[in-house]
Structure 1
Amino acid sequence: MTLTRPTLLFVHGAWHQPAVWDRLRAELDVLGYQSRAVDLPTSGPDARGGMPDDADAVRKEIAAIGGPVVVVAHSYGGIPVSEAATGLPDVEHLVYLTAYQLDRGESMFSFHGVPDPAETDGLIPISGDPREAFYGDLSAAEAEAAISQLVDQRLRACVGRVTEPAWRSIPSTYIICANDQAIPVPLQEKMADRATDVRRIESSHSPFLSRPAEVAALLDDIITSRG
């Protein structure tokens, strides 16, 4: 492990924005970590582009840090991270927090066995109840606050295919969220088989909101226990 403590770079999932990481980043501040959060262009009030544009945004943030980086991706965010970090020597470790750790030629849709739609130039709605899917272990008031911050998501992001996944050349940890209703545990376990290391947390899909101190401690352990 390097003597310089890495900066953590956080990459949000679909329908979310960088502020979703604020609670976790505050806990990491206490532990002495510097962190940044990427703003993915395919999510937002002015959602645009596709997965390659999100990967470009991740690359630019990594370059701006200019030193050792541990990238932490959530949900959809794992896809542009896998695409972006390949060949970047400053990236020391990848953390997939109930995230899509996809292989060559896979997209979110293909991983789920969903065919690409004929038209991808639009938005993708949230199916089902977002509280159940994303925020099952938040209080009703906290879940409503989180839901109020959800934004538009470009459909094109879901069909973008990974070319050369970074986890094939960079060590990675997969964090399985045992009560996740958005990405079922068997699918998480399938992707976790691709990681160098696997951890578990007893949470729903968004532990950075429901258990920020626990996630911060887990990330600290992942970083400090690397060989």
Structure 2
Amino acid sequence: MTTIVLVPGAMHGAWVFDPLLAALSERGVTAVAVDLPSSSDDTATIGSLTDDVDAIRAAVARIEGPVVLAAHSYGGVPARAAAGTIESVRGLVMIAAFALPVGVSLLDAQGGQFPPGYERSADGRGVKIGDIAETIYSGVDPAIVEKALPRVQWQSVESFTQPAPAEPGPDVTITTVITTDDKALPADQQRQWAESSDAQVSVASGHSPHASHPDAVADAIADTVRRVDATTS
């Protein structure tokens, strides 16, 4: 049986996937969500991209059988690295996610500097997006946004500056979920990265389709599981 490991984006934890976990459960898909060390309330102990890859690796190690990683936004960077280095990872779903080439950092992809509106922590080790309700949560039910905003954490600067260390091999089945109304990651950039994917799914959503369109994302993940199962049975 294939298991899904959900990987959150910057400044968020496993909690962000609660609507998606419910939708996957309704489809009979087994899934767990992980927290990434690079997102924390405490910038003194905040982790790096390397730590995030290790956290995904640890989550996968606890699972028997094939795994599909489903990653949102920044989470695509450590998820792609994990998919390229862990044999049991057979599939990858990129949800409005950064598909960076090896050697390129997230900050590189943003022109070498943090976009306007980013807030820096007092010690300089963490950042937050100031207009997160308008960019990350565009199109999401206001009630969900109201509950989410107090839970947003600092994201380590190091996770932005470390280059992507690895990428999936040809045996990993990749699905890209493209968010066509995205205010944080332009759809055209997502489409460019998706050219090498095995499947593409477009959702008329902002940057957080797992919150605004969980059924559509769950369908894309379930379809990826079916394709992975067909190759491993």
Please indicate, yes or no, whether the TM-score normalized by the shorter chain is above 0.5.
yes
Q: Is there any run of 5+ residues in structure 1 with no aligned partner, and where? A: none
Instruction: Indicate yes or no: 2:22 matched with 1:26.
Output: yes
* CA pair 138-174 structure 1, distance change in 2 beyond 3 A: same
Q: Which residue of the partner structure matches residue 125 of structure 2?
A: 122
1:213 matched to 2:215? The reply is yes
Distance 1:145 1:26 in 2: 17
Partner of 1:44: 40
TM-score w.r.t. structure 1 length?
A: 0.89
Distance 2:169 2:107 in 1: 20
Q: Which residue of 152, 155, 159 corresponds with 2:157?
A: 155
How far apart are 1:65 and its partner, in Å? 0.9
- Cross-structure match for 1:203: 205
Offset, 1:90 = 1.1
One-letter amino acid of the structure 2 residue matched with residue 157 of structure 1: S
Q: 1:94 aligns with which of 78, 92, 95?
A: 92
Partner deviation per Cα, 1:130-166 (whole Å, 9 max, x = no partner) = 1110111123332222212211111110011112212
Instruction: Check whether the contact 1:167–1:195 (CA below 8 A) recurs between aligned residues.
Output: no
Structure 2: unaligned runs, 5 residues or longer? 115-122
Q: CA deviation at 1:172?
A: 0.9
Report the structure, 1 or 2, having the larger strand content. 2
**Alignment of 1:59 onto 2:57:** yes
Tell me, in whole angstroms, the C-alpha distance in 2 between the residues paired with 1:143 and 1:167.
36
Separation (CA, whole Å) in 2 of partners of 1:135 and 1:12: 14
Percent identical: 32
Equivalent position amino acid for 1:32 in 2:
G
Residues 121/67 of structure 1: CA separation in 2 closer, same or farther (3 Å cut): farther
Q: What does residue 13 of structure 2 align with?
A: 17
CA deviations on 1:157-193 (whole Å, 9 max, x unpaired) are 0011112212555221111001111101121122112
Is the contact between residue 16 and residue 43 of structure 1 (CA under 8 Å) also seen in structure 2? Answer: yes
Aligned pair partner of 1:176 in 175, 178, 184: 178
Give the secondary-structure state (helix, strand or coil) at the position aligned to 1:21: helix
Equivalent AA in structure 2 for residue 222 of structure 1: T
Query: Does the aligned pair in 2 maintain the 1:95–1:172 contact within 8 Å?
Result: yes
Distance 1:151 1:57 in 2: 17
**Contact 2:133/2:145 (8 A) holds in 1:** yes
User: What is the aligned partner in structure 1 of residue 196 from structure 2?
Assistant: 194
| Aligned counterpart, 1:113 | 111
- Structure 1 CA distance for aligned equivalents of residues 113 and 146 of structure 2: 33
Cα offsets for 1:183-217 (capped at 9, x unmatched): 01121122112322211111111111112122212
Q: Give the superposition deviation at 1:87.
A: 3.2
**Root-mean-square deviation over aligned CA pairs:** 1.9
1:8 aligned residue: 4
